């Protein structure tokens, strides 16, 4: 196999050169541009053997377009050689939600960084990534001698079967830092990567019952909290009340995460309840898990990897999802939070994926599209059926949901039971993904919980951070604990959350997973997250 067999380019092929000759052109900049043909292109099958396929890299005005034709390839590898020895810190993203582990690190050559990464010499911060909506599951690796892009072009766990069509793998982009803060550079690069984001005209905020009810909810409980939220939120931009897991028939029959997607006896007529919530002055929303089957669904609709889930490559499954979404809209709900689609399809949480979003060997019913295309198609089906109502993606691939979702859950669950989990999951994801806010979509760092189990002196700080960061604020309020101090703090928080604010900037994020120093509303603020006992080292 020769390089010519693997690579067809729109310009002359770049020949590998000694490392010294690939140093940054300007001695004043540490930036390595990758808007050129790669120095190495490889294709691998499922067993990591090299295969001969046709890959085209085309340098266009502001990006490098990558296309693929052929069969048998599972992963593509692109390598740009150059001197990154000046770089001191690297920041990667996650496949879907983050899991309390986002951080700036020193050089780590084997670290997969999904979708994009930032790199800093502590003077300037540069960005490298693929534009949103890629046709492959893409991750980056970087070291002192160059940059690698890996594109997973499997369909589920087998090589995609293109049938003669050309796959648009990804558009590669990069950005040279201009001496601004690392956070400002990350914001600018997120805007550069983002293709046609779907942004709401006004900020999204409100309440979600999960972190105090945990599925044990009912109409009266939701109505009571919704009335309180409505009273405390005085802006014309009204808050949402999102009914989480527990409203459908599945949970009532001890089948959590399942339909039938009709109101159970604790809720009754869901259309009537939506009207009731609107009468209380809130916008109704609800939770939905699209890829769990109903009892009547045929076996042939099930996923070969795990028959407990539906296969989103089957047209009838899309029709089922479309029917449910249209029903919710018809009931009068103005927001739907859909959940678990990444886990249900791929069988791994983002923190388990590493360089392999799913295991090898399993085939969806239709393998003519890549995993990235399959998920994107599912999001588009949900969007089309939703019409103009708002969508929150939870456990979805945010990089693929740009343009179809107004709001994205950016981290794993916060908690109404464990402060440690709020600090780990909430603060970390907000610090390291706030730059995506209104670049990709509105970001939701998850719920601020006011419950008996979490100390108010710590929750109050979390409420302040979220509300003053300009991102989406959703609260869970255990009714029996509400005191005047909570009402006053919530009223102030909602007044901020209802209007667009400057995105909060973590100031010490290069030195910690849990930033304490922030720039909020134009002022420096310091938080104290650890409480009296410090971190809890066991499961939370």
Tokens in use for 33? 């541009």
> What is the per-residue pLDDT for 527?
98
Tokens in use for 116? 């994009």
Q: What is this structure's pTM?
A: 0.95
Q: Rounded to an integer, what is the distance from CA 436 to the centroid of its chain?
A: 9
Find the angle CA(433)-CA(434)-CA(435) to the nearest 5 degrees: 85
Is beta strand 390-394 parallel, antiparallel or unpaired with respect to 113-114?
A: unpaired
Q: Specify whether the CB–CB gap between 418 and 448 falls below 8 A.
A: no
> What is the per-residue pLDDT for 134?
98
Tell me 427's DSSP state.
Answer: I
Find the angle CA(221)-CA(223)-CA(228) to the nearest 5 degrees: 100
Helix (H) or strand (E) segment spanning residue 329: helix 315-331
Count CA atoms closer than 13 A to 408's CA, side-chain side. Answer: 34
CATH ID of 205-365+393-526, from 3.20.20.70, 1.10.3720.10, 3.40.50.720, 2.40.128.50: 3.20.20.70
Find the angle CA(400)-CA(195)-CA(95) to the nearest 5 degrees: 25
Which residue, 230, 340, 238, is CA-closest to 293?
340
Radius of gyration of the chain (CA): 24
> What is the per-residue pLDDT for 482?
97
Three-state SS annotation for 302-322: ECCCCCCCECCCCHHHHHHHH
Q: How far apart are CA 101 and CA 203, in angstroms?
A: 27
> What is the per-residue pLDDT for 21?
36
Q: How far apart are CA 270 and CA 264, in angstroms?
A: 9
Question: How confident is the chain (540 residues) per 10-residue block, as mean pLDDT?
Answer: 38 32 55 98 98 97 97 98 97 98 97 98 98 98 98 98 97 98 98 97 98 98 98 98 98 96 98 98 98 94 97 98 98 98 98 98 98 98 98 98 98 97 97 98 98 97 98 97 98 98 98 98 98 91
Helix ranges, 210-284 (H):
210-213, 219-232, 249-252, 270-279
Q: Rounded to an integer, what is the distance from CA 123 to the centroid of its chain?
A: 29
The domain locations on the chain are 3-193, 205-365+393-526
Which residue, 136, 137, 139, is CA-closest to 128?
139
């Amino acid at each position: 196999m020769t390089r010519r067999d693997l690579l067809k380019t729109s310009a002359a092929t770049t020949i590998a050169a000694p490392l010294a000759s690939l140093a940054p052109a300007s001695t004043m900049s540490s930036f390595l541009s990758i808007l050129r043909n790669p120095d190495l292109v490889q294709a691998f099958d499922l067993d990591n053997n090299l295969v001969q396929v046709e890959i085209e890299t085309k340098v266009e005005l502001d990006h490098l377009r990558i296309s693929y034709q052929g069969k048998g390839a599972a992963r593509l590898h692109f390598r740009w050689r150059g001197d990154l020895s000046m770089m001191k810190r690297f920041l990667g993203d996650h496949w879907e939600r983050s899991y309390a582990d986002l951080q700036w690190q020193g050089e780590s050559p084997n670290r997969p960084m999904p979708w994009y990464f930032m790199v800093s010499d502590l003077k300037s911060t540069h960005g490298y990534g693929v534009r949103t909506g890629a046709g492959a599951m893409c991750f980056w690796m970087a070291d002192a001698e160059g940059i690698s892009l890996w594109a997973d072009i499997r369909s589920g766990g087998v090589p995609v079967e293109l049938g003669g069509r050309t796959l648009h793998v990804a558009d590669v982009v990069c950005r040279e830092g201009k001496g601004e803060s690392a956070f400002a550079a990350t914001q600018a690069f997120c805007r550069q990567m983002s293709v046609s984001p779907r942004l709401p005209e006004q900020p999204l905020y409100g309440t979600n019952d999960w972190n105090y009810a945990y599925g044990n909810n009912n109409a009266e409980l939701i109505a009571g909290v919704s009335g309180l939220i409505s009273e405390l939120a005085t802006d014309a931009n009204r808050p949402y009340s999102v009914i989480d897991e527990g409203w459908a028939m599945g949970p009532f029959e001890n089948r959590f995460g399942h339909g039938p997607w009709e109101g159970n006896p604790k809720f009754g007529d869901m259309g009537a309840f939506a009207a009731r919530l609107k009468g209380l002055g809130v916008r109704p929303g609800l939770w939905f898990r699209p890829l769990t089957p109903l009892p009547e669904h045929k076996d042939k609709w099930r996923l070969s990897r795990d028959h407990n889930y539906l296969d989103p490559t089957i047209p009838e499954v899309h029709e089922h999802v479309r029917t449910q979404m249209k029903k919710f809209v018809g009931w009068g709900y103005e927001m739907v939070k859909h959940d678990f689609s990444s886990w249900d399809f791929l069988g791994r949480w983002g923190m388990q994926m590493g360089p392999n979003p799913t295991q090898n060997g399993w085939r969806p019913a239709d393998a003519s599209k890549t995993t990235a295309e399959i998920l994107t198609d599912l999001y588009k089906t949900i969007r089309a059926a939703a019409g103009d109502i708002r969508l929150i993606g939870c456990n979805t691939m945010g990089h693929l949901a740009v343009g179809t979702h107004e709001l994205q859950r950016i981290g794993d669950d916060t908690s109404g039971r464990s402060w440690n989990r709020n600090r780990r999951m909430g603060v970390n994801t907000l610090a390291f993904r706030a730059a995506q806010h209104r670049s990709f979509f509105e970001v939701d760092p998850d719920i601020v919980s006011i419950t008996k189990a979490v100390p108010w002196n710590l929750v109050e700080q979390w409420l302040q951070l979220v509300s003053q960061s300009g991102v989406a604020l959703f609260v869970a309020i255990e009714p029996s604990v509400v005191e005047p101090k909570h009402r006053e703090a919530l009223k102030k928080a909602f007044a901020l959350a209802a209007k667009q604010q400057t995105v909060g900037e973590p100031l010490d994020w290069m030195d910690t997973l849990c930033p304490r120093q922030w720039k909020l509303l134009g002022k420096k603020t310091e938080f104290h997250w650890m409480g009296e006992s410090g971190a809890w080292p066991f499961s939370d």
